[in-house]
Amino acid sequence: WAGSPVNPFVGADRALLLEDAQAELRDAQEVAGALAAAVQELGSELVLFGKTGVDRDQSQTGQRVAARLGWGCAIECAKIAID
């Protein structure tokens, strides 16, 4: 989001950046496990992932996190409306 003219966090209660100096050495399964643990610890009810990420642009992280949490997963969303 740095340098973007659009703030992707408008309306969000909070946004978190989890950093790992060794992330480039981790596979998608390891990354998903760490993120799922953080989501559970934080008690989050909704998690948004972008297409490109720490999984070397394999587009797997969001789906793997959802599977670990037992959640549903939507991909390729252009717009989300929550009433």
Q: How far from each other are the two terminal CA atoms of the chain, in whole angstroms?
A: 25
Residue 22 to residue 43: CA distance in whole angstroms? 25
Picking from 48, 36, 57, the residue whose alpha carbon sits closest to that of residue 77 is 48
**CA–CA distances in Å: residue 43 to residues 71, 79, 82:** 13, 24, 19
- pLDDT, one tens digit per residue, over 70-81 is 999 988 888 888
Per-residue pLDDT, 8: 64
Three-class DSSP category at 29? helix
Coil vs helix vs strand at 38: helix
pTM, full prediction: 0.72
